[in-house]
Structure 1
Amino acid sequence: MTTSTLTQGLERIPDQLGYLVISEDGVLAPVIPFSQSAGELENDEHTAGVIMQMMRTACRFRLQGAAEPPFKRMSVMLEDYVYTVTVSGQKVFVVKRQNNHREPVVV
């Protein structure tokens, strides 16, 4: 799978402002290696480091006896942005999207 194949779907996500593809092999490295990055997250080592630290913290909540990680997808919702983090194979995909506020439906 080439890098362009990895990111082809990421580029078509609606309201996407940027993305990172992080190699899980580099989780313990001082500099987190990107396979690819673009938009507002292009070469954003700080955000990559924060996201990977959040993932490491979430992985500590593993159920006793479970072999699989406790999650495959994580969303970080902020006022204006949403970071969607997906773990697939040896890669971590991070997409920054515009947070489109929706008013609650009153019935």
Structure 2
Amino acid sequence: MMALERIPDQVGYLVLNEDGAVICSGGELENSEHVANIVLGMITLSDSVGPDNEGYKKISVIYQDFCYIICLSNKKIYVVKKRYLAPKSPVLIPETTILNTNLNSNSNSVVNT
């Protein structure tokens, strides 16, 4: 499972079989059967509320400082815990006045945004 250890900002990982048993683990999630049980419950819940013909592709659980990314591949459940850097808050642009020039008419208009 060396590939999971090379994921940027990864602080822990779990690989589970379809029944939720831990196959391998590392970092902060080493031998974390508690997290494995929670993840299996989330997957069961997502399967019951989603459309019948489509399963989930990825589940992300985001906290202020870290996140869990959960994926299913080759009948295994991969869980990666990563540091999470929240996006900066949006920059507010002050109200501006724009001169709107309509080339099809002879008049100019002012638009406030």
Per the TM alignment, residue 48 of structure 1 is displaced from its structure 2 partner at its CA by: 0.6
TM-score, normalised to structure 1, is 0.78
Match of 2:21 among 22, 33, 36: 33
Q: Which residue does the alignment assign to 1:20?
A: 14
Q: Please give the per-residue CA displacement for 1:40-69, whole angstroms capped at 9, x wherever unaligned.
A: 0000010110111011000012324x1x42
Which is greater in Rg? 2
Query: Could you say which structure has the greater relative contact order, defined with CA pairs below 8 angstroms and 6 or more residues apart?
Result: 1
* Alignment: residue pair count: 92
Higher share of residues assigned helix: 1
Q: Percent identity?
A: 37
TM-score, normalised to structure 2, is 0.75
Residues of 2 paired with 1:58 and 1:72: CA distance?
Answer: 11
Runs of 4+, deviation exceeding 4 Å: none
Gaps of 5+ in 1: 1-6, 27-31
Gaps of 5+ in 2: 94-113
What is the RMSD computed on CA atoms of the aligned residues? 1.4
